[in-house]
Amino acid sequence: MRRLCGAALLLLTAAVIAACGAGVSTPNGVATNPPNLPGGGAFHGSSANPSGSAGPQTSGVRTVLAPLGLNLRSAASTTGQVLGTVAQGTLLTVVGYSGDGGGWYRVQGSSTTGWITANPLYSSPHRFSSYQSAQRGFGALYLEDWTFAEDTAAVAFRPQSSGGQAIVVQMGASLDALGPAGRSGYTLVTTNSAEVFGVTGVLRTYDRTGTVASPGADSPPPLMHLAEIRLTIDSQRAMRIDFAYDNASDLQQFTDFYDSVSFPPPASPGASASPGASPSPTSTPVPGASPTPL
């Protein structure tokens, strides 16, 4: 497990949380490698071929994002026999594609070949490690060439070899406890709804239009864009996920991340969506559960 402290951690989180004057706490999240091949809302990125060529993905790998797993079927259809449920983090080899019924990938496991939906909410063409923390109250998948750092207020996930890009997660008793939406120097561009593990929150995107203080003389300049999700899980928990980025193509990293997030179920069934969500969702998902595996 890799730890960042001092100026490095400040670089990651200074624009979202207070400076780490209290220091970096002992990491309590656990990073693990995803399991091997199996035995048996709005604002989501593309599931395009990771090679960059036109057309659907027909080779390479898919990693299961869905926290509750993903059904492996005998045919490219929701009526196909369920051969098994593939756990989150499982790496599958893509051997074919069908455009039927919204798209399906034919995938190979260690002993079974079958079909999974091509819906990008459920799987990704990238490889991941898993972060789990009972103390922080959430788990998620992050890209295998990224790392994470923890302090008393937040967890920051970032590439090991780049500057200011980061996904920062904060948990609090309420949205008010997590501070105001947005960031100084950034202007709101879009407001949508987004679903994280069955809970609907507000997704906002911002462009940098003003002066943003740099954490230090040797720090990279602030990035050009910010995406932010804020949601109320229940009467005692709220979550904020911020992503600083420069290029629109980087948003896939953000969507993969929040599609993989899980947390303990709400304290009371039927918890409402985050206050101020716009637009209002057309249906209310069951809080604390990802969509049913297809």
pLDDT in tens, 237-257: 999 999 999 999 999 999 999
Q: pLDDT-derived band of residue 142, with 50, 70 and 90 as boundaries?
A: very high
187/192 Cα distance (integer angstroms): 15
pLDDT at 40: 34
pLDDT at 283: 32
Q: Rounded to the nearest 5°, which phi and psi values hold at 139?
A: -135, 160
- Report yes or no on 20 lying in a domain: yes
- The region of weakest confidence among 25-39, 48-62, 99-113, 116-130 is 25-39
First to last CA, the chain: 34
Q: What is the DSSP string of 213-250?
A: --S-TTSPPPPSEEEEEEEEEETTEEEEEEEEESSGGG
For residues 207 and 71, state if they share a domain.
no
Which uninterrupted H or E stretch holds 258? helix 251-260
Q: pLDDT-derived band of residue 258, with 50, 70 and 90 as boundaries?
A: very high
Q: Are the CB atoms for 92 and 109 separated by under 8 Å?
A: yes
Task: Return the number of other C-beta atoms located less than 10 Å from residue 283's C-beta.
Answer: 6
In which domain, by residue range, is 152 found? 6-28+127-260
- Report yes or no on 66 lying in a domain: yes
Burial class (CB in 10 A: 0-12, 13-18, 19+), 180: exposed
Q: pLDDT-derived band of residue 219, with 50, 70 and 90 as boundaries?
A: low
For residues 75 and 180, state if they share a domain.
no
Nearest partner of 264 among 175, 171, 138, 172, judged by Cα: 138
Any idea of the CA torsion for 42, 242, 261, 160, to the nearest 10 degrees? 120
For residues 87 and 211, state if they share a domain.
no
Mean pLDDT within 212-226: 70
- Report yes or no on 53 lying in a domain: no
For the cut 90, the answer to whether the pLDDT of residue 70 exceeds it is: yes
- Report yes or no on 186 lying in a domain: yes
Token pair listed for 103: 């798209």
Query: What CATH number does the domain containing 93 carry?
Result: 2.30.30.40
Q: Are the CB atoms for 153 and 226 separated by under 8 Å?
A: no
Query: What CATH number does the domain containing 219 carry?
Result: 3.40.1000.10
**Total structural domains within the chain:** 2
- Report yes or no on 172 lying in a domain: yes
The pLDDT tens digits of the residues spanning 74-85 come to 999 999 999 999
pLDDT at 265: 86
Which uninterrupted H or E stretch holds 206? strand 199-208
For residues 136 and 227, state if they share a domain.
yes
For the cut 90, the answer to whether the pLDDT of residue 42 exceeds it is: no
The pLDDT tens digits of the residues spanning 166-176 come to 999 999 999 99
Residue 115 CA to chain centroid, in angstroms?
Answer: 24
For residues 215 and 252, state if they share a domain.
yes
For residues 159 and 22, state if they share a domain.
yes
- Report yes or no on 157 lying in a domain: yes
162/164 Cα distance (integer angstroms): 7
Residue that wins the pLDDT comparison between 293 and 66: 66
pTM above 0.85, yes or no: no
For residues 199 and 149, state if they share a domain.
yes
Token pair listed for 113: 């070949």
- Report yes or no on 240 lying in a domain: yes
pLDDT at 27: 42
Nearest partner of 223 among 208, 204, 213, judged by Cα: 208
Average pLDDT, the chain: 79
DSSP letter, residue 208? E
For residues 115 and 159, state if they share a domain.
no
For residues 108 and 155, state if they share a domain.
no
Q: pLDDT-derived band of residue 213, with 50, 70 and 90 as boundaries?
A: low
For residues 166 and 253, state if they share a domain.
yes
Residue 238 CA to chain centroid, in angstroms?
Answer: 16
Given 78, 98, 124, which residue is the final one in a domain? 124
For residues 87 and 168, state if they share a domain.
no
pLDDT at 111: 83
207/235 Cα distance (integer angstroms): 31
Distances (CA, A) of 190 to 16, 93, 194, 203, 205: 19, 36, 12, 8, 5
For residues 17 and 110, state if they share a domain.
no
pLDDT at 94: 97
Given 124, 141, 161, which residue is the final one in a domain? 124
Nearest partner of 254 among 106, 148, 142, 175, judged by Cα: 142
For the cut 80, the answer to whether the pLDDT of residue 54 exceeds it is: no
Q: What share of the chain is helix, strand, coil (3-state, %, to 5)?
A: 10, 35, 55
- Report yes or no on 231 lying in a domain: yes
